[in-house]
């Protein structure tokens, strides 16, 4: 990670990052480490000199650029190489804390592990197996949330494979009408890949999961998009903001990982 402290701070108080890293990476069997710390380009610098950035550093650097220095990482048992590599984050100007996954019913449950620590904060959410640009992406979202007062602001990207992502429908004012998860056919063009939200959504997520977990066993995995859609239906204000001209790259399979060398990191 880049230890340069001259980041573009948002100036907002109590903004914390949440990064779920509890996935099993079943489609990357044989990888010599957790996928989140697999080294890819371009190179970064630290006190020891140059080194290839690992996958999750592309997210952590973007949070740091927006002034988000306190970040909660949620792990599952066995992924100890992640804290061994990232440490406490101090070399990169970050404060990293690690939490253990509780209920195995989907990413929202991993996010909710941080509830006692984030319930009064503005939250920046990103996924550690995604590569995307530009560098100031979280600054853009935080500024929009601050000015609009929206409960959730989703960072939108063009979708190159709609059947694998959450597709987002907006109205003319940038309000999210609905989220359609992995549709077989759609005329929608955008997906979301990062988000920021107010404490209202943190509380909604926590309460939603308290009910959901009663019948979660044996059901399909819950996605963050499912909870955002439920929030829309309950009247929370969810906005979408275009943050990139290029689709993000999810390195969840060997085929996607091979595409990293041609990825336009700065767009």
pLDDT tens-digit map of 7-47 = 444 445 589 999 999 977 555 556 778 989 988 865 544 44
The pLDDT mean for the chain works out to 87
What mean pLDDT comes out for the span 79-84?
95
Which pLDDT band holds residue 59 (cuts at 50, 70, 90)? very high
Q: Which residues pair with 70 in a beta bridge?
A: 95
> In this structure, is residue 267 part of a structural domain?
no
Q: What is the CATH number of the domain that holds 113?
A: 3.90.550.10
The length of the chain, given as a count of residues: 267
Task: Tell me, yes or no, whether 7 lies in a domain.
Answer: no
Section 222-236 average pLDDT: 98
Per the domain annotation, does 149 fall within a domain?
yes
What per-residue confidence (pLDDT) applies to 260? 59
* Angstrom distance (rounded) from CA 188 to CA 166: 10
Mean pLDDT highest for which of 4-13, 34-43, 48-57, 70-79? Answer: 70-79
- Please, where are the H alpha helices in the chain? 57-65, 81-86, 107-112, 115-118, 137-148, 199-212, 224-233, 254-257
With respect to residue 3, please indicate whether it lies within any of the assigned structural domains: no
* Cis ω before 106 (30° cut-off from 0): no
Within-domain flag for 5: no
Ramachandran assignment for 78, one of left (phi > 0), alpha (psi -120 to 50 degrees), beta (any other): left
Planar angle of CA 69, 72, 76, nearest 5 degrees: 150
Strands 176-181 and 166-170 turn out to be: antiparallel
Give yes or no for a contact between 162 and 52, defined as CB atoms under 8 angstroms apart: no
Give the number of other Cβ atoms within 10 Å of residue 53's Cβ: 20
> What is the full DSSP assignment across 27-69?
GGTT-SS-GGG-EEEEEEEETTEEEEEETTHHHHHHHHHTT--
Q: Which domain holds residue 59?
A: 15-260
* 2 is a domain residue: no
Could you tell me if residue 10 is inside a domain?
no
Residue 129 gets which letter from DSSP?
A: T
Span 135-159, pLDDT tens digits: 999 999 999 999 999 999 999 999 9
Please report whether residue 265 resides in a domain. Answer: no
> Among residues of the chain, what percentage have pLDDT more than 70?
83
Number of structural domains in the chain: 1
Strand segments (E) across 85-218: 95-100, 122-125, 130-131, 152-158, 166-170, 176-181, 190-197
Phi-psi category of residue 66: left, alpha or beta, with phi > 0 → left and psi -120 to 50 → alpha: alpha
Q: Is pLDDT of 49 > 60? A: no
């Amino acid at each position: 990670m880049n230890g340069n402290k001259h980041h573009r701070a948002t100036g907002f108080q109590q903004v914390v990052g949440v990064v779920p890293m509890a996935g099993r990476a079943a489609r990357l069997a044989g990888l010599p480490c957790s996928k989140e710390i697999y080294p890819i380009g371009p190179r970064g610098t630290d006190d020891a000199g140059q080194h290839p950035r690992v996958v999750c550093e592309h997210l952590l650097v973007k949070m740091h650029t927006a002034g988000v220095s306190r970040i909660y990482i949620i792990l599952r048992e066995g992924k100890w190489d992640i804290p061994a590599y990232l440490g406490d984050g101090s070399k990169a100007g970050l404060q990293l804390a690690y939490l253990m996954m509780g209920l195995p019913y989907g990413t929202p449950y991993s996010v909710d592990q941080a509830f006692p620590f984030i319930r009064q904060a503005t939250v920046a959410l990103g996924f550690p197996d995604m590569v995307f640009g530009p560098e100031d992406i979280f600054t853009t979202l935080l500024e929009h949330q601050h000015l609009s007062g929206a409960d959730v602001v989703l960072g939108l990207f063009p979708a190159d494979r709609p059947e694998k992502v959450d597709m987002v429908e907006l109205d003319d004012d940038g309000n999210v009408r609905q989220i359609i998860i992995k549709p077989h056919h759609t005329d929608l063009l955008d997906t979301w890949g990062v988000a920021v939200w107010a404490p209202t959504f943190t509380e909604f997520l926590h309460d939603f999961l308290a009910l959901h977990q009663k019948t979660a066993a044996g059901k399909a995995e819950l996605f963050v998009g499912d909870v955002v859609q439920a929030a829309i239906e309950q009247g929370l204000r969810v906005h979408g903001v275009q943050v990139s001209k290029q689709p993000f790259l999810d390195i969840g399979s060997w085929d996607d990982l091979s595409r990293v060398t041609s990825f336009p990191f700065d767009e």
